[in-house]
Amino acid sequence: MKEIVETKNIGLRGVKVADTRISDVDGEKGNLIYRGLNICDLVSCSTFEEVSFLLLHDRLPTSEELKSFQEELVSERKVPEAVYGLMKMMPNTAHPMDVLEASIPILAAYEPQLHDESREANLKKAIRLIAKLPNIVAAWDRIRKGKEPTVPHPELTHAGNFLYMLSGSLPLSETARDFDICLILHAEHSFNASTFAGREVASTHAHLYASILAAIGALSGELHGGANSEVMKMLLEIGEVDRVKSWVSEKLRRGGKVMGMGHAVYHTEDPRATILRGICNRLADRTGDRKWFELTQAIEKATKEEFRRLKGKEIYPNVDFYSASVYHMMGIPKDLFTPVFAISRVSGWAAHIIEEKFAEAQPKPELYRPDADYIGNYCGPQACPYIPIEERSR
């Protein structure tokens, strides 16, 4: 007899909805591959710009191609003045993720090829979005603090330019490279919630900007990209290594979650967490302040021990766990951590949206249209009688 696979009410865990050529997450072995290349090789040998090319084109660029891709990204960094205008009208309490979301339709309004649905035009739109998102995130941080946005620095890399635009001063080259590695690590992760949201919207033939907007919205939740800011809040709340054990035990005893721990796909250590732990340790030495690294490490240890004791299972840190203290030591405000995730993941989203639009890994484009069983009120096949308002009672 054919085995019936239950696909309802499980958040689509383990349910395959499509093929993809973009990335592969091996949750058992803890491997992550972008377009056939291991993430560990990419962080040692590549840059965010090269990885973005790889994700969009399904191959590494030649040196000339990379040069012209980098030049294009630099030339597209400027955003329309209307984006800054919107920011200047917003209350400075607006969350950076909401401001980022609000900026996307403005970029769409100024997009010269908005309704050109050729593959070439979609690639151009993807490059414009990758180039502009860091500018938007950095500009909002400055505008909300009463400062003017920084003009992008044409000589700096994508990563270095973001840190420069945020602070207004040149970053250390080592820190810019560490941030570049963070961008590589966050660029792509197969059919996660935000990527699926973006692909689902693209499947309706909505344009790239609308699809990216949906993805940004999905990323903002604390169970997805929002977890990195929540990790920072936890670090600040705990404050000292000697408070870690009791804080973690109490949290888990009450059925709460330790943010940045656990993953829907990895059942071993997330390879990105391994690399980020190393960066965190390095930054602790570079800044001369080991507090954040030691605190994060102590929370990891206490959560693993307590989880094992309570549930008899293992739990591991995910990508958000060490990135919180990494970004904090780089001087990035905690409510920008999730937008920083977005400025990297936009490359992966764009690659997926293009793959979806042009059916590059499936026989033909399909509109996503799942089904549900109706379990609401039922009065028979003729439906319930409509009761006029004056005859209703609760």
Ligand X SMILES: CC(C)(COP(=O)(O)OP(=O)(O)OC[C@H]1O[C@@H](n2cnc3c(N)ncnc32)[C@H](O)[C@@H]1OP(=O)(O)O)[C@@H](O)C(=O)NCCC(=O)NCCS
Q: Is 158 a catalytic residue?
A: no
Please check whether residue 111 is in contact with residue 212, taking contact to mean a CB–CB distance below 8 angstroms. no
The H-or-E segment that residue 26 falls in is strand 23-26
Please check whether residue 299 is in contact with residue 317, taking contact to mean a CB–CB distance below 8 angstroms. no
Among 103, 318, 325, 347, binds ligand X (CB under 6 A): 318
Distances (CA, A) of 383 to 44, 141, 331, 389, 391: 63, 53, 60, 18, 18
Sheet with 31-34: list strands edge to edge. Answer: 23-26, 31-34, 37-38
302 near ligand X (CB under 6 A): no
Q: Which residue number, 106 or 302, has a Cβ lying nearer to ligand X?
A: 302
Q: Which residue number, 124 or 189, has a Cβ lying nearer to ligand X?
A: 189
What character string, x for contact with ligand X (CB under 6 A) and - otherwise, covers 244-283? --------x----xxxxxxxx-------------------
Q: Which residue number, 130 or 227, has a Cβ lying nearer to ligand X?
A: 227
Range in contact with ligand X (rule: CB under 6 A) among 158-166, 289-297, 317-325, 340-348: 317-325
Rounded distance between C-alpha atoms, residue 105 and residue 136, angstroms: 13
# of chain residues touching ligand X (CB under 6 A): 14
- Which residue is catalytic, options 263, 270, 328, 352? 263
Distances (CA, A) of 98 to 81, 90, 339: 18, 11, 9
56 near ligand X (CB under 6 A): no
- Which residue is catalytic, options 189, 224, 328, 352? 224
Q: Is 320 a catalytic residue?
A: yes
CB of 64 to ligand X, least distance (A): 37
What character string, x for contact with ligand X (CB under 6 A) and - otherwise, covers 106-135? ------------------------------
- Which residue is catalytic, options 141, 189, 320, 328? 320
CB of 80 to ligand X, least distance (A): 33
CB of 214 to ligand X, least distance (A): 19
Please check whether residue 139 is in contact with residue 83, taking contact to mean a CB–CB distance below 8 angstroms. yes
Please check whether residue 183 is in contact with residue 158, taking contact to mean a CB–CB distance below 8 angstroms. yes
Angle CA(153)–CA(158)–CA(164) in degrees, nearest 5?
A: 45
306 near ligand X (CB under 6 A): no
Rg of the chain's alpha carbons, rounded to an integer?
22
Name residue 99's amino acid.
V
Q: Is 224 a catalytic residue?
A: yes
Rounded distance between C-alpha atoms, residue 304 and residue 115, angstroms: 50
317 near ligand X (CB under 6 A): no
227 near ligand X (CB under 6 A): yes
Among 320, 324, 327, 342, binds ligand X (CB under 6 A): 320
310 near ligand X (CB under 6 A): no
Q: Got the DSSP string for 48-105?
A: HHHHHHHHHHSSPPPHHHHHHHHHHHHHT----HHHHHHHHHS-TTS-HHHHHHHHHH
Residue ranges in contact with ligand X by CB under 6 A: 223, 227, 252, 257-264, 318-320
> Which residues belong to the active site?
224, 263, 320
